[in-house]
Amino acid sequence: MSAIQNRYEFVYFFDIENGNPNGDPDAGNMPRLDPETNLGLVTDVCLKRKVRNFVEIVKENQSPFEIYVREKAILNLTHERAHQAVGAGEKEEGKKRKGKGVEVEKARAWMCANFYDVRTFGAVMSTGVNCGQVRGPVQFTFGRSIDPIVPLEVSITRMAVATEKEAEAQSGDNRTMGRKHIVPYALYRAEGFISPHLAAQTGFSENDLELFWQALMNMFDHDHSAARGKMAARQLIVFKHDSALGNAPAHKLFDLVDAKLWDNTKPPRSFKDYGIIIGSAPDGVTIEEKI
């Protein structure tokens, strides 16, 4: 199937209730935030991870929807597989396969054809066995909460112990203490861009695009955990341009969408506390609400 022919931007709203949407390993895994404004942050990498996980579940990691960046994947073995698939010569034992220019380009094309996340988000595939680099047509901004958040540190207890020695040391009281960080409630907004020019280079098709929308709408339903609490996709607003070049600047389209807190006298605790306001699209741009 041919690559997409239209430019897109999108605004994506999702929320969290009593959970940690994206822990910061540099801050004891506390929810990420902007220290100057106390607005919560969720990285683009976190959102892409959830898209990858959804596609892997739905397509069962079968070509042409395999996932390149997945848990415990050995990337250089995948690169070697690509070189073998395009008929590159045998690798010399004990040496890295750098590949000739033509071989690298063929391996790069093979990776785009077989791996959904490569042709969607791009990848650097020049480690060890060289398959080149891909600049993906789909990119996210960081998610940012609409209002400041106040992360809470909650104490938890464990009744069981791991070893007999630990049980003896506690002399009858087997409870051990722990902590978890939560955001009581926050609505986050992320924005994204989809380039048909880069899609032409990777083969990102209309089918791939529809799968991407499905992932954004449903990925949180397959990503529940005790740490993340209750997360949900709330609204996906898509701007479709009539052309590949585009009919309006992206930042002006993003300015058409606003989230309004109905009552400023109390902190928000549900999506019902907000209203999403969408302006009128300029000529040549169509607004679609997926959720």
Rounded CA separation 71/92 (Å): 28
Residue 7 clears pLDDT 70, i.e. is over it: yes
Q: What is the pLDDT of residue 59?
A: 95
Interval 138-152 mean pLDDT: 96
Find all residues with CB under 8 Å of 21, minimum gap 6, and list them.
31, 40, 42, 46, 143, 183, 186, 188, 228, 231
pLDDT at position 127: 84
Per-residue pLDDT, 101: 82
CA distance 160 to 167: 8
Give the integer Cα–Cα distance in Å for 137 and 90.
33
Choose the weakest-confidence range: 39-43, 100-104, 120-124, 139-143: 100-104
Q: How many residues does the chain have?
A: 291
Whether omega for the bond prior to residue 64 falls within 30 degrees of 0, making it cis, is yes
Identity of the amino acid at 160: A
Rounded CA-CA distance 190/42 in Å is 9
Alpha-carbon span 44 to 272, nearest angstrom = 26
Would you say residue 196 has pLDDT above 70? yes
The answer to whether the CB of 136 falls within 8 A of the CB of 121 is: yes
Contact between 134 and 108 (Cβ < 8 Å): yes
CA distance linking residue 151 with residue 147, whole number of Å: 13
Residue 9 burial (10 A CB sphere; 0-12, 13-18, 19+)? buried
Lowest mean pLDDT among 78-92, 98-112, 220-234: 78-92
Q: What is the pLDDT of residues 197-222, one digit of tens each?
A: 999 999 999 999 999 999 999 999 99
Mean pLDDT confidence for 246-267: 96
The burial class, CB within 10 Å (0-12 / 13-18 / 19+), for 116 is buried
pLDDT (0 to 100) of residue 6: 97
What is the rounded CA–CA span in Å between residue 80 and residue 77? Answer: 5
Residue corresponding to tokens 């009281």: 173
Q: What pLDDT is recorded for position 243?
A: 96
CA distance 286 to 291: 16
- Enter the DSSP assignment of 282: P
Given this model, what pLDDT does residue 28 score? 87
- Quick one: pLDDT band at residue 96, thresholds 50, 70, 90? low
pTM summary value: 0.91
In this structure, of 170-174, 189-193, 239-243, the range with the lowest mean pLDDT score is: 170-174
> 124 phi and psi, to 5 degrees?
-100, 115
Q: Identify the pLDDT of residue 50.
A: 97
Percent of the chain at pLDDT exceeding 90: 77
CA distance 10 to 239: 6
Q: Which of 278, 253, 255 is nearest to 8 (CA)?
A: 253
Average pLDDT over residues 94-106: 73
Tell me the residue ranges of DSSP E strands in 195-224: none
What was the pLDDT predicted at 95? Answer: 55
Residues 162-187 have pLDDT tens digits of 777 777 766 556 567 778 899 999 99
Region 51-66: what's the mean pLDDT? 95
pLDDT category at 91 given cuts 50, 70, 90 is low
Q: Is the pLDDT of residue 92 over 60?
A: no
Give residue-wise pLDDT tens across range 101-115: 889 999 999 999 999
Q: Are strands 143-148 and 230-241 parallel, antiparallel or unpaired?
A: unpaired
